[in-house]
Amino acid sequence: MSIEGGSALNQAQRSLPGPIRSEAVTRASDHHELPRLRGNPLLEARARIADLSPENPVVEELRRRYAFGVPTPPALELIAAASPAGIVELGAGTGYWARLLHQAGVDVVAYDRWPPPCPENPFFAGSEPWYPVLPGDVAVIGRHVDRMLLVVWPTRNETWPAGALAHFHAAGGERVVFVGEGPGGRTGDSVFHCLLGDEGRCLSCELGVADTPCTCGIRPLWQATSSVEVGSWPGVDDDCIVYERVDDRRFLNRRRRRKPWTGEAG
């Protein structure tokens, strides 16, 4: 879809519910001066749209304007409770998750390699940010090991998400929170999920999957401790999962506590 316009995009913009369109003017460049966002416009819009198929231009516009992962109250509450020292988010996109966490009282520093509306951003070019998103890659998170690392919908089959997990662990980070699908889904690659302890076999060697890297010998660096389901899009199975660092394989047998999401907007 062209970011400059076109009939599909124009139709999508006209079809957005009224409160969603009016919220677009409440953004600000300094998070200390951000006016309070009224509710959770992405979640509320998702609840009101009958056709949530990826082919619907309204869905595409919502993702481009807000985020691919849909923040729910249980997910935001879980993240806030697990991050008393604050959050460092990598791959923050428009900063929509950061904005809602900021409003929940969490101190957030957000980075993206190409912060919107940067035209180089393949997903959010031309989208105005909801929160101040700074330019930065994997290297910057090593400055924030006192915080919890947040990664929402990391790009599928790219190396930076796994690099972020490894770098944050090596720098001394203690906790990570990941929002997205599990192994074989639309987020992260096999190395990423192996480092989280969620991928138990090498898909490349055992099953001959050609487009996945070999993960033989990769030691998990993180252990899931708690999670909640995230109400997302049809055919998408997202979770919000909190992990703690692993320095000894004895801790890899702990089971995480998973709470279902009821689908209510809050």
- For the domain made up of 68-259, give the CATH fold: Rossmann fold (3.40.50)
The predicted-structure confidence for 206-249, as pLDDT tens digits, reads as follows: 665 656 666 777 889 999 999 999 977 888 889 999 999 998 64
Please report the pLDDT score of residue 206 as a whole number.
Answer: 63
Asked if residue 11 has pLDDT above 60, the reply is no
Taking residues 35-42, report their average pLDDT: 88
Please report the pLDDT score of residue 31 as a whole number.
Answer: 58
Tokens 């923050």 — which residue? Answer: 92
Contact 228, 261 (CB under 8 A): yes
d(CA 195, CA 202): 12
Identify the CA nearest to 37 among candidates 52, 25, 51. Answer: 25
Please report the pLDDT score of residue 190 as a whole number.
Answer: 87
pLDDT band, residue 3 (cuts 50/70/90)? very low
Q: At what angle are helices 7-15 and 57-65 packed, to 10 degrees?
A: 80
φ/ψ region of 86 (left if φ > 0, alpha if ψ in -120 to 50, else beta) reads: left
Please report the pLDDT score of residue 231 as a whole number.
Answer: 74
Q: Report percent pLDDT > 70 for the chain.
A: 74
Contact 112, 11 (CB under 8 A): no
Identify the CA nearest to 75 among candidates 231, 236, 257. Answer: 231
Q: How far apart are the first and last CA of the chain?
A: 31
The total number of residues written for the chain in this structure: 266
The predicted-structure confidence for 123-172, as pLDDT tens digits, reads as follows: 999 999 999 999 999 999 999 999 999 999 999 889 999 999 999 999 99
Tokens 């991928």 — which residue? Answer: 199
**Mean pLDDT for the chain?**
82
Taking residues 6-26, report their average pLDDT: 41
Asked if residue 254 has pLDDT above 80, the reply is no
Identify the CA nearest to 107 among candidates 152, 150, 74, 164. Answer: 150
Asked if residue 87 has pLDDT above 80, the reply is yes
Asked if residue 107 has pLDDT above 60, the reply is yes
Indicate yes or no: pTM above 0.75. yes
d(CA 6, CA 242): 40
- 3-state secondary structure labels for all residues of 66-84: CCCCCCCHHHHHHHHHHCC
Strands (E), 82-209: 87-90, 108-112, 133-135, 148-152, 175-180
d(CA 55, CA 77): 31
Contact 28, 34 (CB under 8 A): yes
d(CA 129, CA 251): 39
